[in-house]
């Protein structure tokens, strides 16, 4: 396997004509010990990856190497298990059956998706755009400067009082603002940005700061003192760019994609709900016994593990 990465590099550099040559599915790709991997094995593995992601997944030789090494190891361990007769264990056979069910369920879901006849959403897309133009606008942008009065070296009361006093000063004399940023602000980034926060309404910023910035109407406007986890802020609007509608042609494909996704998910939920809601019969006594079935004598129950559940528990 140590030569595999080099071999993959050579393979990826071959001509398109060579790569396009048809190869039998049973052609052996790698032999290691008593096991082998064929192209069909790799095809089956890669088929589990969403079609849109397969080319990207296989674009890196290192990723292919890791995939093949893991596949070989699984096959070697499986071969050892068969020699030991582990595949004859009834519990193991049940586990194999569950794995088969999981694979078939995944394949059925994919085939169901592929079978859906997606309607033409062109008309609905235009209606959606006309009814919600603001939703498809370039959002307004607000750039601000701020003075931060921290409460790490002051009591909260001291910090709040200093912030209110600072707000009063810059309200009375706006020209002091920049000087107070440099001399008073506790924001360590001021040495680089001099208090400037671009796109201050972004969701990447703490909510109270972003919301206060969004309420500023014009350059020069000051916010009330704003409390965040960093301390107390006095915010001044530097520039405001109003929201700008996007032409329908720019957002048409995105709207259609969104409507298609919503419709597809609805169809899939409908089918899954139909299966889940089929009439069922339960053995109440056996169901109740599950709570204690797997306890061993003297063992305590890990509440965290119980709360976490398994991956199958989390399937929506």
Convert the pLDDT of each residue in 3-41 to its tens digit.
554 455 444 443 333 344 545 668 899 999 999 999 999
Retrieve residue 167's tokens. 């707000």
pLDDT value at residue 296: 83
Indicate the fold that domain 140-242 takes in CATH: Chitinase A; domain 3 (3.10.50)
pLDDT value at residue 24: 64
Question: How far is Cα 202 from Cα 204, in angstroms, rounded to an integer?
Answer: 5
DSSP conformation letters of 202-230: -TTS-HHHHHHHHT--STT-BPPPEEETT
Q: Low-confidence residues of the chain, pLDDT below 50?
A: 5-6, 9-20, 22, 310-316
| C-alpha dihedral sign at 242, 248, 252, 258 | positive
Retrieve residue 161's tokens. 């009082």
Residue ranges, comma separated, of all CATH 3.10.50.40 domains in the chain are: 140-242
pLDDT value at residue 12: 42
Question: How far is Cα 59 from Cα 2, in angstroms, rounded to an integer?
Answer: 19
pLDDT value at residue 139: 87
Model pTM?
0.64
Query: By three-state DSSP, how is residue 121 classified?
Result: coil
């Amino acid at each position: 396997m140590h030569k595999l990465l080099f071999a993959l590099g050579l393979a990826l550099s071959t001509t398109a004509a060579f790569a396009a040559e048809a190869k039998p599915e049973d052609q052996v790709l790698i032999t290691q010990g008593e096991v082998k991997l064929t192209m069909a094995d790799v095809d089956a593995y890669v088929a589990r990856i969403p079609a849109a992601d397969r080319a990207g997944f296989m674009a890196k030789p290192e990723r292919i190497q890791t995939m093949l090494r893991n596949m070989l190891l699984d096959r070697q361990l499986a071969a050892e298990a068969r020699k030991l007769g582990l595949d004859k264990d009834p519990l193991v056979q049940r586990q194999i059956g569950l794995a088969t069910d999981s694979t078939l369920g995944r394949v059925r879901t994919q085939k169901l998706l592929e079978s859906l006849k997606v309607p033409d959403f062109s008309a609905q897309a235009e209606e959606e755009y006309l009814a919600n133009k603001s939703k498809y606008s370039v959002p307004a942008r607000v750039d601000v400067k701020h003075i931060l009065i921290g409460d790490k070296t002051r009591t909260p009361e001291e910090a709040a009082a200093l912030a209110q006093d600072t707000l009063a000063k810059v309200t009375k004399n706006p020209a002091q603002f920049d000087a107070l940023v440099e001399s008073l602000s506790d924001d360590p980034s001021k040495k680089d940005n001099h208090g400037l926060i671009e796109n201050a309404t972004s969701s990447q910023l703490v909510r109270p700061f972003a919301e206060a910035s969004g309420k500023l109407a014009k350059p020069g406007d000051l916010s009330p003192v704003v409390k965040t986890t960093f301390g107390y802020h006095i915010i001044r609007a530097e520039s405001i760019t109003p929201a700008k509608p996007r032409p329908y042609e720019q957002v048409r494909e995105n709207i259609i994609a969104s409507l298609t996704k919503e419709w597809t998910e609805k169809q899939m939920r409908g089918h899954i709900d139909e299966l889940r809601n089929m009439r069922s019969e339960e053995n109440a006594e056996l169901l109740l016994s599950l709570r204690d079935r797997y306890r061993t004598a003297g063992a305590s129950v890990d509440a965290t593990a119980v709360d976490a559940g398994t991956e199958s528990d989390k399937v929506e």
